[in-house]
Amino acid sequence: MNLKLINDLDLKKILSILMRSFIQLAQIRLSSKQKLLLKKARTLLSSQQMTLTSLAEYLSSELNLAHSTVKWNLRNLRDVGLITAGDANEKGINAELTLAGELLSQAFNTEV
């Protein structure tokens, strides 16, 4: 796609194309556990504040998954920019979904 074509497209169309591509890429690259954890985290974090560790503890209990598996997947979601949270250097920071994480979790919730 050349620059002239981009200039000829309107912003809404460009955003729509990028959004579809973003969702398709996430569908392919995220595991089913990561998609589930992102959806569950969205629901939980919309009503309460918790660190990544507390979120992992809660989700591991609720979904009957190993804590280490949940924590590993949540860290990966943080590392790709879908969740913000503390890390080894910054402890105690509450977890939140980024705008990208919100958009994806909404898209995953509308799947059939």
Question: Tell me: the pLDDT tens digits for 26-37?
Answer: 999 999 999 999
Q: What is the dihedral of CA 99, 103, 109, 111, to 10 degrees?
A: -160
Are the beta carbons of 67 and 77 closer than 8 angstroms? no
pLDDT value of position 6: 64
Provide the token pair at 65: 């998954």
In angstroms, the CA 76 to CA 97 distance is 13
- Residue 84: closest CA among 74, 71, 69: 74
pLDDT > 70? residue 53: yes
Q: Where are the domains of the chain?
A: 31-109
pLDDT > 90? residue 40: yes
Provide the token pair at 8: 């000829």
pLDDT > 50? residue 112: no
pTM of the predicted model as reported, rounded to 2 decimal places: 0.84
Query: Which fold would CATH assign to domain 31-109?
Result: Arc Repressor Mutant, subunit A (1.10.10)
Residue 110 vs residue 20, higher pLDDT: 20
